[in-house]
Homo-oligomer: A and B are copies of this chain.
Amino acid sequence: MLVQCVPNFSEGRDPERLSRLQAAAQATANVRILGFEGDADHHRSVMTLAGDGEAVLDAVFRTAAVAVAMIDLREHRGVHPRMGAVDVIPFVPLANTPMEYAVDLARRLGERIGRELAVPVYLYEFAATRPERRNLADVRRGGYAALQARMARDAPDFGPGTPHFTAGAVAVGARRPLIAFNVYLNTQDPTIADRVARAVRGSSGGLVGVKALGMDTVTQGQVQVSMNLVDYPKTSLPAAVEMVRREAARFGASVTRTELVGFLPVSAAVDSLRYYLQLSDFDSSRILEMALAYEPSGPRE
């Protein structure tokens, strides 16, 4: 049962600490570390693991244990919302794996983190045990600073009823594949990033399946809109990027570049090519290297 798991850690600066997190995941056999990227501004890192569900669960538990032992959230400064040393752990079904399998992995990992690491665990999205915990932003609202007060009126799914002193709490869930990317605008005014984000995201009247956040910081003279597409078969990458472009233009700003965080599912790449190049009858089997790797070895027709 092929799954992907994308744990997010509240550490994006210290190379020594990043390699300890990576070494922990490598200790499990048969798990592929597809990527591990640290972001100094967000002070956050994202690891992408893939493999059989059982092996991935084991590898993620090992890195979570290292993160909890090593990261002290009381000293953490970064622009990204966070509530834990290991902040979010989503399981994503790949290929023909059913969502129920990813949900089961999330619940088993959550139980183990609560019991063995004494960190409170909130299950979210497809693994959520209550409707109001489906949305990650709601689960993490207020972040580490508000955690104590929040937990007093909202007990976690697993683990102690109060925050871990240094490691906070963790959201563990199951979700559909997601596209995370940042869009840079040629302005130094963070209120423009914020207004563009508000116009584009679904929660404030924008596009369905789009989450967007105007970042408070200026990087290389530019502000950033941080985006997630959580239902990209509905709202595609081109639809989101073109809307950012139009909304930014209202403030005289333009897109200078975009950057992907993690991976792009090939179906999203295909949809983007269809959109911009107006390609008809195009799918991933028309990409030569994809056909060589994935097509049955017999003739196609």
Contacts and interface: CB of A to CB of B under 8 A. Distances in A.
Interface of A: 4, 22, 25-26, 32-36, 50, 94, 177, 237-238, 241, 255-260, 263-266, 269, 272-273, 276-282, 284, 286-295, 297-301
B292 A50 contact: yes
A263 B26 CA distance: 36
Nearest to A267: B289
A273 B269 contact: yes
Contacts of A299: 22, 25-26, 33, 36
A289 B269 CA distance: 11
Contact of A301 (B36, B50, B237, B287): B36
The count of identical subunits is 2
Contacts of A266: 287-290
A32 B257 contact: no
**Majority secondary structure of chain A interface residues (helix, strand, loop or mixed):** mixed
A274 to B, nearest CB: 10
A280 B257 contact: yes
Q: Tell me which of A50, A241, A260 has the highest count of chain B C-beta atoms within 10 A of its own C-beta.
A: A260
Given A34-B300, A301-B36, A238 B277 contact: yes
17 contacts: A4-B288, A33-B298, A33-B300, A35-B291, A35-B300, A94-B292, A257-B278, A257-B280, A258-B278, A259-B281, A263-B291, A264-B287, A265-B287, A272-B276, A272-B277, A276-B276, A293-B293
B36 A300 contact: yes
Q: Which 5 A-B pairs have the closest CB atoms?
A: A293-B293, A33-B299, A263-B288, A276-B276, A266-B289
A295 B35 CA distance: 10
B265 A279 contact: no
B260 A286 contact: yes
A290 B35 CA distance: 13
Contacts of A50: 292
Contacts of A259: 279-282
A263 B293 CA distance: 14
A280 B258 contact: yes
B289 A290 contact: yes
Given A34-B288, A264-B288, A272-B273, 8 more contacts: A34-B291, A50-B292, A94-B288, A258-B277, A259-B280, A260-B279, A264-B287, A290-B290
